[in-house]
Amino acid sequence: MSTAPFASRLRPAHPCPGPLSIALVGSTDVADVICEAERIAAPLTAAGHRVERLFSPREAWGSGAAPAADLVVVLGGDGSILRTARWLAYRQVPVLGVNLGTLGFLADVPRTEAAEALADILAGRFRLVEHLMFECEIIRAGRRLLLELGLNEASILAGPPFSMIEIELFVDDELATTYRADGLIVSTPVGSTAHNLSAGGPIVRKDIDAFVFTPLNPHTLSNRTVVDSADRAYELLVPRPNAGSACVVDGRAVAALLPGDRIRVRRAAPRFTLVETGRHGYYRTLREKLGWGGGLRASEPGTTGGR
């Protein structure tokens, strides 16, 4: 399979070169997704753009061919974007996330601003921000069991009977440390505001190429989060997993773990590409989604707190 991304015709600072192919995708389990899609599609179709509607229940997401479009508009929340990134696989195209969910770190365009955001894109007033993706490979008895492409994180979870497990971390074939914990999260910067943040890990700006290693309830106080370069090769060895131990990629349990399984995490060739129009900056998103503003009031973007 080719790892070359699909060549989109979208170019920042340039109006769209004639009619574009735009795919509207979303889960039919999300309320109002069809209604919002029709509202967005109407002016695009009237302007001569080709609009494809691809909707399915969550459990059937990605069962068909991924769209070969210039732009994919995801209607939903961050879960919908993660499923879309997995669906696009090694043919990533620019994605605009319209938030019909709750937090929306990736799907950060409110539905009320979707029309304006698309108008900005068609006029060339946008930027393409590429994000690190990873491959998670499980090796069992010297053979590849599976290979998964991910965007947020790969996690090793102890599972039932919920006793701690040991996880050995190798960096470029060198033993770095052994975690004794309830699990370990290997997160990308995009995923740093997800499970990693809930576990006490740091927020890492999402356009940085790095992996974040956050242990879950480690037995040793010296086991802290580590941030390291995405250019290195990482391998996790689980000598004695619990009966319910599992490898989880972007919230999906992909494999139960057996003694001696090796989990390899490395940078993937494709890059997940978000379209940003400048209406919502990175730190504004953090302030509004996490209530991270301190003394600042999110309703007043120009407030400087007197400094």
Residues labelled catalytic: 78
Q: Treating both helix axes as pointing N-terminal to C-terminal, what angle do 33-46 and 114-122 enclose, rounded to 10 degrees?
A: 30
Give CA–CA dist 206/228, Å, rounded. 14
Judged on CB neighbours under 10 Å (0-12, 13-18, 19+), 163 is exposed
Q: 226: part of which helix (H) or strand (E)? A: strand 226-229
Sequence-distant contacts of 82-87: CB under 8 A, at least 24 apart: 82/106, 82/151, 82/152, 82/250, 82/251, 83/27, 83/58, 84/25, 85/133, 85/149, 85/151, 85/272, 86/62, 86/149, 86/150, 86/151, 86/250, 87/25, 87/61, 87/62
Give CA–CA dist 153/185, Å, rounded. 7
Length, in residues, of the chain = 307
Residue 148 CB-half CA count within 13 A: 24
Helices (H), the chain: 33-46, 78-88, 114-122, 195-198, 282-290
Q: Which of these, 205, 15, 213, lies nearest to 129 by C-alpha position? A: 205
Give CA–CA dist 250/267, Å, rounded. 15
Q: Which of these, 200, 298, 296, 251, lies nearest to 77 by C-alpha position? A: 251
Amino acid letter, residue 280: H
